[in-house]
Amino acid sequence: MTDDGVTRGGGADSGVAIGGLVTPVGRLSVAVSGIGLVAVRWGDIPAATRWPVVDDPDRLRPALDQLTAYFAGRLRTFTLPLDLSGLGRSPRLVLQTLFEQVGFGTSITYGQLAHRSGTGVPARGIGAIMGANPIPIVVPCHRVLAANGLGGYSGGRSGEGLATKRWLLTMEGVLQPTLDWASAT
C-alpha cells in the first residue's frame, strides 16, 4: 500500500470478475478485482465495461455470498476487501470512513460524515460522493441522511431511489415499517 492509501497492482485494470443476484430491491451486479469489490450496480454491468473481464468464480463468490446473506437478514457487517483505487483521495477517505464506522442499524448525517472523515469536504460535497459511490449497499451510502430527513439516493431501480433507501433503512431497523411494508418489496 502506498502513502496515499491506495493499493497498487491487481486492481480493476487487471481484470474483474462479474456476477449478479436478484434481491428485494432489484437485480444487482458486482465486479471484483484482484484487490477487492470494485462495483455494485443495479441491473447489469455492461459487457463493454471499462475493465477487462475475467472468469473467476472464486473471486466473485464472497461478494455474492455476503450480499445474499445481508438481504436474507443473516449478515450485518460486510467483511469484503474493497478496491477504491480508482477514486481520488477525498472520496476514498469518505467512503472508507463510512464503510468502517457506520454500521448496520445506524445512520449518520451528511454533515457528521463530513466532520468524521476529516477530509474538509463540506456536507454538500459528501452528498455528491454518496451519489457517485461505486459500491452501494456494501459501502452503505443509504445510511447517510440529510439533517432534516432522508436526503437523496441514486441507487435502486430507475425512479425508485428514495423507496430503495427507505426499504434498506427499514430492513436494518433505522426506520419503522409502514403499514404497507409487505408490498414495498
Distance CA 106, CA 87 (A): 25
Catalytic residue among 141, 144, 145, 169: 141
Q: Report yes or no: 52 and 14 within 8 Å, Cβ to Cβ.
A: yes
Q: Does the annotation mark 151 as catalytic? A: no
Amino acid in position 64: L
Distance CA 168, CA 166 (A): 6
Amino acid in position 10: G
The phi-psi region of residue 177 (left if phi > 0; otherwise alpha if psi is between -120 and 50; otherwise beta) is: beta
Q: Degrees (nearest 5) of the Cα angle 57, 67, 102?
A: 130
**Which 3 state secondary structure label does DSSP give 19?**
strand
**Which 3 state secondary structure label does DSSP give 18?**
strand
Q: Rg of the Cα trace of the chain? A: 16
**Which residues are identified as catalytic?**
141
